[in-house]
Structure 1
Amino acid sequence: MNARPKRRGRQSLRFRFFSAVAFAAAVFIGVMLVLNVLFFHSFYLLQKKNSLVHAYNSINEQYNGDISILQDNLKQMENNNNIRISILNNYGTYIYDTIFAHDRSTAFLDSMMQNPFGEMLYVYDSRELERKGYTFSTLNDADGSTAYVALIGILRTGDTILLRVPTAALRENQSVNFIFLMISGLLALLACLIAGFFIGGHFTRPVIQMTEVANSVARLDFSKKYTGTDPDELGELGQSINQMSEYLESAIRDMQQMNEQLHKEIEEKQRIDDMRKEFIINVSHDLKTPIALIQGYAEGLRVGINESEEDKNYYCDIIIDEAKRMNHLVRQLLDLSRLELGNTVPNKTDFDAYELAEAVAGKTQVMWQEKHLHVDLSGVGAQVLHADYDMMERALLNYMTNAIDHTPEGGQIHISTSEDTRHIVMSVRNQGCQLAQEEMDKIWDKFYKLDKSRTRVSGGGSGIGLSIVRAILTAHAGGCGVRNTEDGVEFYLSLPKETE
């Protein structure tokens, strides 16, 4: 017998699903952090450069040498995009500057005139400036306290424009953004773990239930069913398992019924074989004695062992009696076989039940008078029987001879009839010993004999008489039986009510 596989934890699939979700979330958050560290600075600079280019194009389109028409737009750009704007003419004189626009003191103006770009140090690509009209540069204050991403361009009026954004905000934004990503990543990971736990339970619950159903089927317990109703592959799989369970249950039930039927057939075959063996033994036993007697007396006649005519006649009478005995037994067997095989069809006629009982009592009169028995026919009514008269007479004779054999001397035998809505019952009741309960079914088998001291036997001791009675009643679609009474036994036969 194969060992059962070790059962894994019921939550193993759920745990793997939960782990996969957690791993995917961790990888996603880790990639986000790495991308932020490696590429946020470049992405931020690119965005700022695009913002500077957009501001340059807008100013270049609108500026015609008169700065007053751009005052409001320039202030809006400065406030919205944190861009510092400076415009100089060909002589290096400020036409507009973000600081100059807010501080118009004489000292400041003098300093700006002396050094147009103040204390800033910068480098740029002059060739790109000539080709595109603008170029980018990185500016620093002379003391290095402030750094800028700057766009230096030539406007269509020939004036020079300097657009710059401080990079201090970049470092601050990158630091804040990294911290925010760390916090939001941890919160997102926690949310993913919680969601993964519940979602994993939702998706693995049908699998766990199907596993329980499959394990029950493996134990031949088909009571559990998958109850999920999800219209997906898991739902279809669950319904398939239910169908498989039903098919297996039906197949096993059919196999069990077939096994039970086969077992009954085997038992019936064994019973028939036992009956056949018993039949052969009983026939051999019943024929052995008369054959031996016939053989012995015939040999005696041949060798002339008898000395007188009287002895010779005695030997012949014994041979004739034993031959009659054998002939009677053989005829009983042939009659029983014809009845059981259905070769003898009853010739049904209507006749009076009392006439049948009177005829049987008359044929057995010598036997019951010899034992000083009293036969009572007062219980027989005027019912009309629709049956084969000869067969019914033979059946009733069997009952009567058995009753005579087993009724004590001076006892009584009662023949009576009764009826219900469907049957007419004719019974023979006699005084004497009762039958044991386990023997009431066996006495109808061929050659079954009971202890003669306490039960009756059939057909002159051959054990065939009651078998013939049962076969006769079966041919008539009727029945027969026996029951104990207060002072003896009652055999009965029933016939269905029929008329031609």
Structure 2
Amino acid sequence: MKTIKMKLFGIFLVSMIAFVFCNILLNTVFLEKYYIYKNKDVLRNASQRIREEYKNNHNEEIEAMLKEIDRLEGINITISDRNMILRYSSFSQTPSSPPGRVPGEIEKILRVNEKRNPQTNIYTIVVTPDYNVREVVFINRLNNGDVLVLRKQMKAISESTAIANQFFILTGLIIVIIGGIFVYLFSRRLTRPIIEMSNIAEDISNLDFSRRMEYNSRDEIGSLARSINLISQKLSTSIKAL
């Protein structure tokens, strides 16, 4: 027979496992999408800042600003002309990139965009051929026709998702252990008066009215205890009257 203690612990255990599983599922399925969504604003704001500064500043100031954004935001930045020839870059070129030109994977996106349906802004995900790293890419055409490319690696978010999942599993185990102790103590306190009422009810069935429930709580169990005491008292009085 399943006791209330086991039922309470089972409910708690299933709830905790479901909670941890749901968090892992949400992290795995939606965290990366949420990361990409939030970085749209980051890249868009960086693009706006560069557009405003690009119109007025000199070459040295532009390069300093690009490197500052790269260092603070982790955004790799390139600016090229209409022919994909680099004007500015905040990072060194990869081995597969043609000298003085935008990276091949970015040039391919721009060529396809120009042929199909030219857009002012392009937001996409690319995989770098040299390091096999996924990147969030935002491409914006400046007022003078130059092309601004902002890139941010997604490697960190993949690592963060794995770490977060491990953390949820670890904390889930700790909570199950601590919660299991709490549930055991709570259920023990809860079932003690119920067991006592069961014993008194058995005594009443054997015409033993000497015991009384000493439970003064104002909850449902307290109300039941008072009812059992009242029944015992009335039965005792009635039997004595006979």
TM bin, normalised by shorter chain, reads: 0.7 to 0.9
- Displacement of 1:242 in angstroms is 2.0
Aligned-partner SS, 2:109: coil
- Kept after mapping to 1: 8 A contact 2:125/2:135: yes
- Structure 1 residue 117 corresponds to structure 2 residue 102: yes
- Structure 1 residue 86 corresponds to structure 2 residue 87: no
- Kept after mapping to 2: 8 A contact 1:209/1:226: yes
Structure 1 residues 136 and 237: CA distance shift in structure 2, 3 A: same
- Structure 1 residue 46 corresponds to structure 2 residue 34: yes
- Structure 1 residue 24 corresponds to structure 2 residue 24: no
Aligned equivalent of 1:211: 198
The separation in 1 between residues aligned to 2:194 and 2:72, in whole angstroms, is 57
Structure 1 residues 242 and 199: CA distance shift in structure 2, 3 A: same
**AA in 2 matched with 1:98:** S
Aligned equivalent of 2:171: 184
- Displacement of 1:196 in angstroms is 1.8
- Kept after mapping to 2: 8 A contact 1:84/1:163: yes
User: How does 1:402-421 map onto structure 2 within 5 Å?
Assistant: none
- Structure 1 residue 141 corresponds to structure 2 residue 137: no
The separation in 2 between residues aligned to 1:48 and 1:63, in whole angstroms, is 22
- Displacement of 1:45 in angstroms is 3.4
- Displacement of 1:56 in angstroms is 1.0
User: For 1:404-432, what per-residue CA distance to the aligned partner results, in whole angstroms no more than 9, with x for missing partners?
Assistant: xxxxxxxxxxxxxxxxxxxxxxxxxxxxx
Q: What RMSD over aligned residues (CA atoms) do the two structures have, in Å? A: 3.5
The separation in 2 between residues aligned to 1:183 and 1:227, in whole angstroms, is 43
The separation in 1 between residues aligned to 2:65 and 2:211, in whole angstroms, is 79
Structure 1 residues 123 and 45: CA distance shift in structure 2, 3 A: farther
Structure 1 residues 180 and 83: CA distance shift in structure 2, 3 A: same
- Structure 1 residue 160 corresponds to structure 2 residue 153: no
The separation in 1 between residues aligned to 2:140 and 2:77, in whole angstroms, is 11
Aligned-partner SS, 2:122: strand
The separation in 1 between residues aligned to 2:165 and 2:229, in whole angstroms, is 54
User: For 1:3-49, what per-residue CA distance to the aligned partner results, in whole angstroms no more than 9, with x for missing partners?
Assistant: xxxxx7xx822222222222322333333334444x1xx43133234
Q: Which runs of 5+ in 2 are unaligned?
A: none
User: For 1:319-349, what per-residue CA distance to the aligned partner results, in whole angstroms no more than 9, with x for missing partners?
Assistant: xxxxxxxxxxxxxxxxxxxxxxxxxxxxxxx
Aligned-partner SS, 1:99: coil
- Displacement of 1:58 in angstroms is 5.1
The separation in 2 between residues aligned to 1:16 and 1:144, in whole angstroms, is 53
Higher relative contact order (CA 8 A, sep 6+): 2
- Displacement of 1:158 in angstroms is 4.7
User: For 1:81-136, what per-residue CA distance to the aligned partner results, in whole angstroms no more than 9, with x for missing partners?
Assistant: 43323334556454543326xxxxxxx7xx98944323545537737762xx4222
Aligned-partner SS, 2:137: strand
The separation in 2 between residues aligned to 1:239 and 1:18, in whole angstroms, is 29
**AA in 1 matched with 2:170:** I
**% of aligned pairs identical?**
20
The separation in 1 between residues aligned to 2:77 and 2:219, in whole angstroms, is 63
The separation in 2 between residues aligned to 1:137 and 1:13, in whole angstroms, is 55
The separation in 2 between residues aligned to 1:58 and 1:165, in whole angstroms, is 12
The separation in 1 between residues aligned to 2:218 and 2:22, in whole angstroms, is 36
Count the aligned residue pairs.
231
Structure 1 residues 63 and 152: CA distance shift in structure 2, 3 A: closer
Aligned equivalent of 1:408: none
Aligned equivalent of 1:322: none
- Kept after mapping to 2: 8 A contact 1:60/1:155: no
The 4+ residue runs of structure 1 with deviation greater than 6 A are none
User: For 1:242-286, what per-residue CA distance to the aligned partner results, in whole angstroms no more than 9, with x for missing partners?
Assistant: 22222222222223xxxxxxxxxxxxxxxxxxxxxxxxxxxxxxx
TM, length-normalised to structure 2: 0.74
Aligned-partner SS, 1:63: helix
Could you say which structure has the larger radius of gyration?
1
The separation in 2 between residues aligned to 1:70 and 1:254, in whole angstroms, is 106
Q: Which runs of 5+ in 1 are unaligned?
A: 1-7, 101-107, 256-500
- Displacement of 1:224 in angstroms is 2.3
- Kept after mapping to 2: 8 A contact 1:139/1:148: yes
Aligned equivalent of 1:15: 6
